[in-house]
Structures are given as C-alpha cells and as structure tokens.
Amino acid sequence: MDTLLPDALRTVSSGSWNGRPAAQQPTWPDPIALENVTGHLASSPPLVPWSECAQLRDRLAGVARGEAFLLQGGDCAETFGGVNVDAVGDKLNTLLQMSTILTYAAAIPVVKVGRLAGQYAKPRSKPTETCEGVTLPVYRGDAVNGFPFTPESRIPDPKRLLRMYQSSSDTLDWVRAFIADGNTDFRQAHEWNRAFIEGSPLGEQYEGLADRIDHTLEFMRATGARPQGFDSSGFFVSHEGLLLDYESALTRRDASTGHAYASSGHMLWIGERTRELDGAHVAYFSHIANPIGVKLGPATTADTALRLIDRLDPDRIPGRLTFITRMGKDKVRESLPPLVEAVAATGARVAWICDPMHGNTIEAPSGHKTRRFDDVLDEVRGFFEVHHELGTHPGGIHVELTGNDVTECVGGGQEIGFADLAFRYESTCDPRLNRHQSLDLAFLVADFLTETAARRRGSSKSAGCAD
Ligand code: PEP
Ligand code: CO
C-alpha cells in the first residue's frame, strides 16, 4: 500500500527544493494555481508500481555486472495532444527490432527502457530565444509552456503538470496493452528486420547477422530452447526527473519497505545541467529508491563521479545507479577513461551507458539543429573501445529516436542530407534518429557487441583456468 510522503519531502518553491538551489525550474506565475495542481497530483494514483521499479533495478544490476545490455530510447521531448497510438506503436516496434539485433549480438539479455510516458520537460541552455528580432522565453517542454512562438504560449502554466500526468498515464496504458498483446515476440521483430534489410541500401552488410538470427530462431522453434539472452519480457519507461514540483508531488512511500519512490516512471535520470552535487536534483534523487541515471558530459571529473556515487548510492545497491555518458565523438576516447578507471578502482558497480546524441549536436546551414549519423556511431564506437581497453562492461546505449520516417539527423543508409531536413522535421527539441537510422545503428553496434561477447567468453575461459 502506498502512502503519501510527509510534507517535508514535498516542499517546493520556485528556484529551490528543501532549501537547495533547483536549476532549470520554471517560474510559475501563480503560486496558488501551482499549489492546487501539486495537491491534486499528491492524491493521484502512482503511475508505476514500486514492484516494477524494483524489477528494473534488478535488471540494471545485471547490466552493472556485465550480464545484460541496456537499450534506452525515445523522443527528446514528448508532446501532448492525445496519445498518438501509431507513433508510440512504431517507436515500440523500432525498439523491439533493435533489441532483437542487439540481443543476438550481445548474447546476453537486453533491458528495454523507453524515453517515454513522462519525457515532457526540457532543460535549456538559454532562458530566452530570439526570432526575427522578437525575444521570448524559451520553450521548456509541453509540461511547462507551449511550443508556438507567441508571448501567451510561452508563459509557464502549472495546469500543464496535470496534462503531463494524464498523458503519461494514457501512454503507459497503451504500452501495457501493446506488450500484453504479445507484440514483443522476437520472431515478428526479426521478420520486420528482414523487410528493413530488403529495402535498405546497406542491407547487404546486415545479411550475415540476419542469417545467423534466422538460424537461432529456427533452432528455438525446433527445440523449444531459448538461447541465452532471448527473453522478451519487460518494457520499462523513463524520463528526466527535471520538474521537482511534479516529481515531489508524485513521490510515494512504500509502506512495506519504508522506501520513498518516484511513482512517475520506473527510472528517472538527472540531466547534465542539473547534477550539481549540492543542488536540489541530487538531493531529491537521494531520497527516492528507483533505479536512477545521471548524465555525465566531457567536463565531468573523476572526483565528481565518485561524489555522485557517494551521494546517490551510499549503500552501493546493485542496479541503483547508471552513468549515462555523453561526451561527444571527439572527446569520448579521452574523457571517459579517467571516470571509468576511478569508479572501478573504488569497487563501486555502476552501469555505464553511452548517450551518443547530446555531445554531437550541430547546426545545419538551414539553421536546423541536427546530428550526423556517423558522429553518433563514432561515439558509440569510442565508448566500446574505452571499455574493451579497460576490461569494463559497455553496458548500453541511450538514443533519441522515433519509429517514424522523420528527417532530423543526417546520414545513415538513406543518406539524408542537410537539404532534406526541412522535409519532415517534427521534433520540438533535439533531432532524433528515424526508424531506418535507428535500425542501421543497431546493426552496426551489433559488430561492437559481438566483440564484447567474444572478450567476455575469453575472459571467463581464462578465469576458469586452474594454473
Ligand atoms: C536530454 O536527454 O534530452 C538532455 C537534455 O540531455 P543532457 O542532460 O545530457 O543534455
Ligand atoms: Co535531447
């Protein structure tokens, strides 16, 4: 049975949380309206049960131990406007198709986590934006204000937090129905991958892996066996826990364990811009027992990483803490090793995940924010190189993607160019890999994972030697 938290954990006022400075919070214009909204949220049912959060934590413990791989992906910013059933379905299918490819290559289970059902608030690098001489407050995600570039729409409205709750709840309902209807079947995902290969300019490159997956599925069908990793169960949701008014109001205490948890999603992460050690987000996250992530950019020092572990995972709970590194393709090979080495030296076990998106954003000649597919792939390659070199586990990827044929990132098998960006650019924030680019990425990352699996087999053989 869930009980509400004591008031002390729910005290929020613009700019601070329990006396700690809270970065990137909206200035809500009407405190009474905000209080009404948070009061309503505080008495609303949890969106996810604690038992599922604990289940994900256990799966992530497997990632930290090197026995599983995490695939985390979805929109940069979800938007309101009713659940787009097709778009969410396409996104889930894309993630499931990717996970089939990665599972086979990794030969270990793939933990599937959407950036989904809660990803409605965005940290921004500037508080305002200027367009044709007009300066307005920046768009901070549908949870805060509106995307249209008008003064009215850019005013933060706390009632949007109620819509965030409702949209998250509706999306989750649809995800649950989708999974319950058996759509996670590997065979079906593989058939879709086959269709993708046929239509893909890079298809020939992927044939060998697809053939090997065919044989494995044939073997499963014939024998009823389930090779290692082929476990289609479980799909979890995650978002950046940015808005402390929202997250605090949805924090519940599990009466049976006494643990507080964020009931807004299974996993929450702290963004690169809000992870100050003495800031409000780190303080809030230290109170909740969910599995959590922290984004680490190229300026992160080893000392900061170690202090974050001490603050956020003082009891060293397996699966509790995931570091999501987003270094950029030019920096990953030099910025990541000192962090991984320092953490490994303490014996702390975190899951290391690569976000190859946020360090590789560029501006196209048209002014669109975009990313080059090859840069994204190169950061993932660098991430694997570092972990292989250090003998640590490259635990997963965190990708901004959609299941639709948008044109937001350039490159990939379809060779989307700068001139194509205007054709179908739909993101309200960062550019996402489209369905083709996402599957291209999975097939190409599969090569890196095959090497990881070979190294793992090699090291377990030598660990077994009795000399
Ligand atoms: C994001 O994940 O959309 C994001 C803003 O990331 P970061 O905190 O790494 O910049
Ligand atoms: Co983003």
For residue 358, the CA-to-ligand 1 centroid distance in Å is: 6
Residue 355 alpha carbon, nearest atom of ligand 1: 9
Mean pLDDT, consecutive 10-residue stretches, the chain (467 aa), reads: 46 70 94 95 96 96 97 98 88 95 93 97 96 96 98 97 98 92 82 92 92 87 74 86 97 93 98 97 96 98 98 97 98 98 97 98 98 98 98 98 97 97 97 98 96 88 51
Q: Tell me, in angstroms, the distance from the centre of ligand 1 to residue 346's CA.
A: 27
Q: Give nearest CA residue, ligand 1 atom 1.
A: 76
Cα 258 to averaged position of ligand 1 atoms, centre (Å): 31
**107 touches 230 (CB < 8 A):** no
Give residue 430 CA to ligand 2 midpoint distance, Å: 5
Q: Which atom of ligand 1 is nearest to the CA of 430?
A: 3
Q: How far apart are CA 247 and CA 142, in angstroms?
A: 16
Question: Minimum-distance ligand to the CA of 359?
Answer: 1
Residue nearest to atom 8 of ligand 1 (CA): 271
Closest CA to 323 of 263, 372, 396, 388: 396
Question: Tell me: domain 6-457, CATH 3.20.20.70, correct?
Answer: yes
Ligand nearest to the Cα of 432, by number: 2
What is the distance in A from the centroid of ligand 1 to the CA of 398?
Answer: 10
| Cβ-based neighbours of 14, under 8 Å, separated by 6 or more | 25, 26, 27, 28, 31
Point out the ligand 1 atom lying closest to the alpha carbon of residue 122.
5
What SS3 string covers 374-401?
A: HHHHHHHHHHHHHHHHHCCCCCEEEEEE
In this predicted structure, what is the pLDDT of residue 278? 96
Ligand 1: nearest atom to the Cα of 77: 3
In this prediction, residue 17 carries a pLDDT of 80
Gap from CA of 43 to ligand 2 centroid (Å): 31
Alpha-carbon distance of 236 to 259, in angstroms, equals 20
* Phi, psi (rounded to 5 degrees) for 239: -160, 165
Please give the distance, rounded to the nearest whole angstrom, from the Cα atom of residue 271 to the centre of ligand 1: 5
167 CA to centre of ligand 1 in angstroms: 21
- CA–centroid distance, 274 to ligand 1, in Å, is 10
Residue 181, pLDDT score: 83
Element (H, E) at 70: strand 69-74
Point out the ligand nearest to the CA of residue 272. Answer: 1
Ligand found nearest the CA of 123: 1
Pocket of ligand 1 (CB under 6 A): 76, 123, 240, 271-273, 295, 326, 358, 430
Ligand nearest to the CA of residue 239, numbered in listed order: 1
Nearest CA to ligand 1 atom 9: 272
Ligand 1 centroid to residue 34 C-alpha, Å: 26
Task: State the distance from the centre of ligand 1 to the C-alpha of 401, rounded, in angstroms.
Answer: 13
- Position 273, amino acid: R
Please identify, by atom number, the ligand 1 atom nearest to the C-alpha of residue 324: 9
pLDDT at 14: 59
| Domain range annotation of the chain | 6-457
Alpha-carbon separation of residue 433 from 76, 249, 380, 425 (angstroms) = 10, 33, 14, 11
- By most ligand atoms within 8 Å of CB, the mutation choice from 116, 272, 353, 397 for ligand 1 is 272
Tell me which amino acid residue 346 is: T
| Residue ID of nearest Cα to ligand 1 atom 4 | 271
Q: Which ligand is nearest to the CA of 124?
A: 1
Q: Determine the pLDDT at residue 13.
A: 58
**Tokens 């959609």 sit on residue:** 402
Angle at 112 between CA 140 and CA 357, to 5 degrees: 45
Q: Ligand 1 pocket test: pick from 78, 243, 269, 326 the residue with the most ligand atoms within 8 Å of its Cβ.
A: 326
Question: Among 122, 126, 273, 354, which residue has the most ligand 1 atoms within 8 Å of its CB, making it the best to mutate?
Answer: 273
Residue 462 confidence (pLDDT): 63
